[in-house]
Chains A and B, each alone.
Chain A
Amino acid sequence: MRVELQNIRKHFGEVRANDDISLIFEPGKIYGLLGENGAGKSTLMKILSGFQKPDGGKIILDGKARRFDSPADALAAGVGMLYQEPLDMPPFLVLENYLLGQRRGFAVNARQAAKDLRELGKKYGFDIQPEEHIRDLSLGERQQLELLRLLAGGAQLLILDEPTTGISTEQKVLLFDSMRKLAKDEGKTLILVSHKLDEVQDLCSQVFVLRKGKLVGEAKLPCPNELLVNLMFEKLPPRRERASREQKQVALELKDAVVATPRLELQPLNLTVYAGEVFGLAGLEGSGQEILLKACAGLLPIRSGSMQLGHQPLDQLDYHAARAGGISYMAAGRVEEGLVAGLTLTEHMALVDQEAGFFVDWAGSRARTKERVQHFQVVGTSESTVEQLSGGNQQRFLFAMLPSSLKLILLEHPTRGLDIRSTDWIWQQLDERRKDGTAILFISADLDEVVERSDRIAVFSGGRMSRVVDAAKTNAEELGHLIGGEQ
């Protein structure tokens, strides 16, 4: 199927996620779509697969303009998308999941369907057992099933969003073989959304690069990696001079620490963060940096290896003990994970009051709230509820609630969605904290911020942490290669 995107536009508020993008995908080829966090590739693919509607532009399939109201609509027109997290139903059987979402009659011929599914699986070398439960499958197997479901549903264009994150090497080889077969033998069109340069080079014949919502370049593959990195990442602004660290006290130390979620198991981690240091973690979202942060906060268990805060072992720590021990964790979702909508600022302050007795000290809490609101320049009153604050003020208020003495602050996207003034203010606060010997470990999707604000940097890619680089000496190119999974 020949797919043409014409002048696709999609805005989220001020942000131009897709800014007038036009592309053509020919049948029988595998295309790569590259770009860093927030470049707009996911948005573009969601529009193409019917998950989101564009603000403007046209989707033309084999010369006919199409509009999709839902992913099912898109699949009926031959467009199937394999999401990073497969859209399946964990309590279901493999067969049930396969039948789901297929537009056939009311009656289901289960036996025939099971036979079809087995044969289809065999064709691509997938070992699929229709009577197994989805929840017992590995991520790679769920992905294979989802791929078969899309093919059975008549997909002529297949979009694969970061398909190799979290699957085994054998599964990856199998997946790539099937992708080549689909393109070459069956003439289907494939789009691989990825940030792993090696995979794109290996598999694709042509690549499009997006940056900040715009198409910034394309290349026939293979080509030198440098060319792609230069297209993906802009030159970094010069880094401002800053005071060097004097303290060499270890704040946090991980030795061969293994942390895992059902979705991703991290390679054993070795990491030392010093007191007063700002340590930045870069990488595409979902590459494992969030998992590391949660483990340090006591929100995920460490399966093996060790973790120490100063000289104190933290292996079997729970979150509340970590908090009491001087570790603060600030999640990315401020109103989802951090603040309680419907509660006033005073109520929040009373809630985190460590000397609270049986009764709430309302007068004291109100006074403390007023003082902090002023000191932290929160635009709001002690009686405002948190959802009445803007994002920047919510973040300021979260800082206002931090205890005065801390050993380690863990931050997920501390300045996401904030304007420059708030961003600068937050980093000023963090710099103040550094002077007291507080270590800061943060994640950011903004590479400029990571380089600008960190002393040292590590990059995550597919569950593996790169070597640690000195922020003053690195450049966009080096980080780009690391984000691309090179060592």
Chain B
Amino acid sequence: MRPGWLDRIWPLLPVLAALAFTSVLLLLFKASPVVAFSAMLEGAFGSSERILNVIAFWIPLLLCAAGLLITFQAGLWNIGIEGQIILGSIGATWVALSLELAAPLQITLEILAAMAGGALWAGIAGWLKTRGGVHEIFGGLALNNLAIILTNYLISGPWQPPEGGSFRGTVPFGEHALLPLFDGSRFSPLALILAGTAFSIVMIALRNSTWGLKLKALGRNSRSAFLLGVSSNREAVLAMMFCGALAGLGGAVRVLSWFDSLRQSISGGIGYLALLVVMLAAYRVLWVPFVAFFFSAVLNGAIVLQLRTQLHSSLGDILTGVMVLFVLLLGDPIRLRGLRRAKDDG
């Protein structure tokens, strides 16, 4: 079936609805929506440094969203992605603090450790689901908390800086351990290349690989998929681990370029944001990079908004949050079409 006009303009509907809703909210607080939104726009794209910031924030978000496309395809709610990012950061930090090698080798090992950490954490959630019958949402949330506790333990214990535990973070890593940055910004071209590659792999896996087809069947009807010969448990765990590896890579990007050390709340909520991104994109692969970029722009713009006006930067969170609420409220276009068809038949 060819997508209709509704499908094509779909992501714009909740965006416009959310802008309208937030405008009304601003007016109620006697603030000007025009001033607020132009300050956000200015904050996101007002200078080359700001644009680079938006891109730098976008990269790990895109990595996570790409991974989530895989788990959503398999019908899994990988809410444990936050913990998987954190484990990725921890993996990268472990290599950064314990080895001193030439930069290319050092960075390669950091990235591999990060992906392994994320995959491990996701694998545990997948194993709990398939072996123990623990729903991935609950397993994932528990593992998220464990990951936060683990970070706090590490930065206040074994990895605390020599000047004493402040609960803030490890010592900054050496130059050789960090991703090469563009012109003193937080943007790393290497990270962009990695994210682009990962996204392409996901796209190909979903469209053309046998594995992607198995995940699609699994996500739509796990019982039938099993009866048609898909090893449901194995594929579910693999999907989780694949997503975990990408989230771990995102975590590496966070510690090795956005920051320069492992810190508290290292993920910055990117995992949850990525869930919202994929939902707003209605699980369409090609929309994901754009929606993720839009989110990055809104959230970075909101920081400047606070400096410029008397409005709090949480306006950005409100805007994205309301957008997702509108997505859930309006339902995704596939369901809408289903309803229409049911009505026609009925």
Contact = CB atoms under 8 A, between A and B. Distances in A.
Which of A341, A342, A362 is most buried by chain B, counting CB atoms within 10 A of its CB? A342
Interface in B206-258: 208-214, 216-217, 220-221, 223-231
Of the four ranges (under 10, 10 to 19, 20 to 34, 35 or more), the interface on chain A belongs to: 20 to 34
A217 B224 CA distance: 43
Contacts of A246: none
Nearest to B218: A340
Nearest to B225: A340
B223 A337 contact: yes
A137 interface: no
A317 to B, nearest CB: 15
A329 B227 contact: yes
A347 B210 contact: no
B335 to A, nearest CB: 12
B71 to A, nearest CB: 17
Contacts of B229: 320, 323, 351-352
B-side binding surface: helix, strand, loop or mixed? helix
Interface in A327-354: 329, 331, 335-343, 347-348, 350-353
Contact of B220 (A337, A342, A357): A342
A358 interface: yes
A360 interface: yes
B213 A350 contact: yes
B231 to A, nearest CB: 7
A337 B225 CA distance: 8
B217 A359 contact: no
Nearest to A383: B1
A407 to B, nearest CB: 17
A460 interface: no
A339 to B, nearest CB: 6
Nearest to A385: B1
Contacts of A352: 228-229
A331 B224 CA distance: 10
A343 B227 contact: no
Nearest to B204: A359
A323 B212 CA distance: 22
A352 B226 CA distance: 11
A340 B209 contact: no
A362 B231 CA distance: 21
A156 B259 CA distance: 74
Interface string B194-211: 000000000000001111
B298 to A, nearest CB: 32
A319 B220 contact: no
A343 B210 contact: no
Contacts of A348: 228
B230 A337 contact: no
A353 B229 CA distance: 10
Given A329-B227, A351-B228, A341 B220 contact: yes
Given A347-B216, A351-B217, A340 B228 contact: yes
Given A320-B229, A347-B216, A351-B229, A339 B209 contact: no
Contacts, number: 64
Contacts of B220: 340-343
Contact of B209 (A320, A342, A353, A358): A358
A329 B223 CA distance: 13
A356 interface: yes
A359 B209 contact: yes
B227 A347 contact: no
A343 B208 contact: no
Nearest to B214: A351
A336 B228 CA distance: 12
A359 B223 contact: no
A348 B220 CA distance: 12
A353 B191 CA distance: 38
B303 to A, nearest CB: 41
B219 to A, nearest CB: 9
Contacts of B209: 358-360
Contacts of B228: 338, 340, 348, 351-352, 401
A61 B225 CA distance: 49
A356 B213 CA distance: 11
B227 A331 contact: yes
B171 to A, nearest CB: 44
A353 B224 CA distance: 15
Contacts of A338: 224, 227-228
B237 to A, nearest CB: 16
Contacts of B216: 340, 343, 347
Given A336-B221, A341-B220, A341-B221, A351 B227 contact: no
Interface string A242-272: 0000000000000000000000000000000
A340 B217 CA distance: 6
A319 B231 CA distance: 10
Nearest to B334: A342
B122 to A, nearest CB: 22
Contacts of A350: 210, 213
A331 B208 CA distance: 29
8 contacts: A336-B223, A338-B228, A340-B221, A342-B220, A351-B228, A352-B228, A359-B210, A360-B212
Interface of B: 208-214, 216-217, 220-221, 223-231
Given A351-B225, A362-B208, 18 more contacts: A320-B229, A320-B231, A335-B221, A340-B224, A341-B221, A343-B217, A343-B220, A347-B213, A347-B216, A347-B217, A351-B228, A352-B228, A352-B229, A356-B210, A358-B209, A359-B208, A359-B209, A360-B209
Q: Considering the complex of A and B, which 10 residue pairs feature the smallest CB-CB distances, nearest first?
A: A340-B221, A356-B210, A342-B220, A340-B217, A340-B224, A340-B220, A359-B208, A360-B210, A337-B223, A338-B224
